[in-house]
């Protein structure tokens, strides 16, 4: 029996080393010569960045379409040498990811290398001045929430698994934890997780470690057609109750089975999940969506992806 566990320890080592990038074995998802690959599909599904122009050296606030507020201060930007940029126009490209369908479309998992996270939203921020990428010194970021929450949240930095599979996972640093949402000063109906000091751009997440009492279990997904495998298929598990998405990266080549494989990702028995399987095979796309599944101890399910299109995948994600 051959089982590949791709998240740990490899990703744990690379992320702890600074989230500088990760590597996988040569069976990366979508790593084939076909035109219709998972990598190409997700490139087309990815959210188009919102663009804002701000002036360096001034205090300015931008607000994304989903309500994320980012406040830049006079010393928020620095160049590659570390010098503060005090003048000129800075281009900000912002992607906001708050819902499970957005997480899947952008391949953003809400996990660290060792544990599942509950999510209050994530963003990708890119800053440039002219043709030069700009780095963050310090700025404020606020993640809009639907209501007051007394649950803690922290800022996590994210990184892709690899060039072939740029699925995002997150580091384990929770040093910037806030205890609860805060009410907007101008409106009593708006609530935010507010972080006064964020010191990096790229992938930023407002999440916290998910802990649940009681029995937890792994879930196995068995292919009814073994040609759908780890080379051409990605499995996402959606946790509606905690606004979270996790991919299955453990694959048994003998039984053609996906699973989490790591206790930190095991699911509380009795919880409700959705399962989304997306495949690219023979220059076509395939998908299987199984919704509102109640988890039982040692659960094993079959999956049978059906032929679809890029538009079909997008529509199915919107209906999660």
Judge whether residue 27 has pLDDT over 50: no
What confidence score (pLDDT) does residue 280 get? 96
| Confidence at 172, pLDDT banded by 50, 70, 90 | confident
| Neighbouring C-beta atoms of residue 272, cutoff 10 Å | 14
pLDDT digits (tens, 9 = 90+) for 181-202: 999 887 778 999 999 999 999 9
Q: What is the mean pLDDT of residues 244-263?
A: 95
Instruction: Calculate the CA 168 to chain-centre distance.
Output: 5
User: What is the model's pLDDT at position 34?
Assistant: 57
Percentage of the chain lying above the pLDDT 90 cut = 79
Q: How many CB atoms lie within 10 A of CB 304?
A: 11
Backbone angles phi and psi of 185, in degrees to 5: -70, -25
d(CA 320, CA 317): 5
48-71: per-residue pLDDT in tens?
Answer: 999 999 999 999 999 999 999 999
DSSP state of 265: G
pLDDT of residue 2: 46
**Quick check: 18 pLDDT over 90?**
no
Residue pLDDT, tens place only, 141-164? 999 999 999 999 999 999 998 877
pLDDT digits (tens, 9 = 90+) for 33-48: 456 799 999 999 999 9
In the predicted structure, residue 1 carries a pLDDT above the cut 70: no
For 14, phi and psi rounded to 5 degrees? -70, -40
Higher pLDDT, 25 or 74: 74
Q: What is the pLDDT of residue 24?
A: 34
Paired tokens of 96: 């906001």
Measure Cα distances from 277 to 23, 113, 128, 316 in Å: 23, 21, 36, 11
Beta-carbon contacts of 29 under 8 Å, excluding residues fewer than 6 positions away, are: 38, 39, 164, 165, 167, 230, 231, 232, 233, 234
In the chain, what are the domains? 49-209 (2.60.220)
Which stretch of DSSP H or E encloses residue 184?
none
Does residue 32 surpass a pLDDT of 50? no
Q: What is the DSSP letter of 153?
A: B
Q: What is the mean pLDDT of residues 241-252?
A: 95
**Structure-token match 């997480």, residue found:** 103
Q: How far apart are CA 141 and CA 84, in angstroms?
A: 19
User: What values do phi and psi take at 12, rounded to 5?
Assistant: -60, -45
Phi and psi at residue 235, in whole multiples of 5°? -110, 125
Task: Identify the burial level of 49 via C-beta atoms within 10 angstroms of its C-beta, where 0-12 means exposed, 13-18 middle and 19 or more buried.
Answer: middle
Q: What is the per-residue pLDDT across 204-237, written as a single tens digit (0 to 9) for each?
A: 999 999 999 889 999 999 999 999 999 999 999 9
- Residue-level pLDDT at 19: 41
Helix (H) or strand (E) holding 315: helix 310-318
Strand, helix or coil for residue 112: coil
Confidence of residue 16 (pLDDT cuts 50, 70, 90): very low
pLDDT over 70, % of the chain: 89
Q: What pLDDT sits at residue 35?
A: 64
- Is residue 306 pLDDT above 90, yes or no? yes
pLDDT band per the 50, 70, 90 thresholds, residue 176: confident
Tell me how far CA of residue 6 lies from CA of 29, 40, 49, 99, 149, in angstroms. 11, 21, 30, 25, 34
Count Cβ atoms within 10 A of the Cβ of residue 76 and give its class: 0-12 exposed, 13-18 middle, 19 or more buried.
buried
């Amino acid at each position: 029996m051959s089982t590949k566990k791709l998240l740990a320890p490899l990703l744990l080592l690379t992320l702890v080393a600074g989230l500088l990038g990760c590597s996988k074995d040569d069976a990366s998802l979508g790593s084939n010569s076909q035109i219709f690959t998972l990598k190409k599909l997700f490139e087309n599904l990815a959210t188009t960045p919102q663009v804002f122009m701000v002036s360096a050296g001034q205090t300015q606030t931008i607000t994304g379409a989903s309500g994320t507020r980012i406040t830049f201060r006079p010393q928020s930007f620095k160049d590659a040498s570390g010098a503060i940029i005090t003048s000129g126009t800075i281009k900000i490209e912002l992607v906001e990811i708050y819902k499970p369908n957005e997480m899947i479309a952008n391949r953003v998992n809400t996990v660290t290398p060792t544990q599942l996270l509950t999510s209050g939203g994530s963003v990708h921020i890119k800053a440039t001045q002219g043709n030069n990428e700009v780095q963050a010194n310090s700025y404020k970021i606020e993640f809009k929430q639907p209501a007051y929450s007394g649950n803690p949240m922290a800022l996590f930095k994210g990184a892709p698994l690899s060039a072939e599979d740029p699925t995002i996972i997150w580091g384990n640093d929770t040093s910037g934890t806030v205890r609860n949402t805060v009410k907007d000063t101008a409106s009593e109906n708006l609530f935010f997780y507010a972080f006064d000091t964020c010191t990096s751009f790229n992938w930023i997440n407002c999440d916290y470690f998910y802990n649940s009492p009681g029995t937890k279990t792994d879930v196995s997904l068995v292919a009814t057609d073994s040609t759908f495998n780890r080379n051409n298929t990605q499995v996402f598990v959606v946790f509606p109750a905690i606004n979270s998405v996790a991919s299955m990266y453990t694959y048994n080549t003998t039984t053609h089975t996906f699973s989490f494989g790591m206790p930190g990702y095991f699911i509380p028995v009795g919880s409700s999940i959705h399962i989304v399987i997306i495949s690219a095979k023979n220059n076509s796309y395939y998908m299987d969506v199984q919704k509102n599944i109640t988890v039982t101890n040692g659960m094993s399910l079959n999956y049978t992806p059906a032929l679809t299109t890029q538009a079909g995948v997008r529509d199915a994600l919107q209906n999660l």
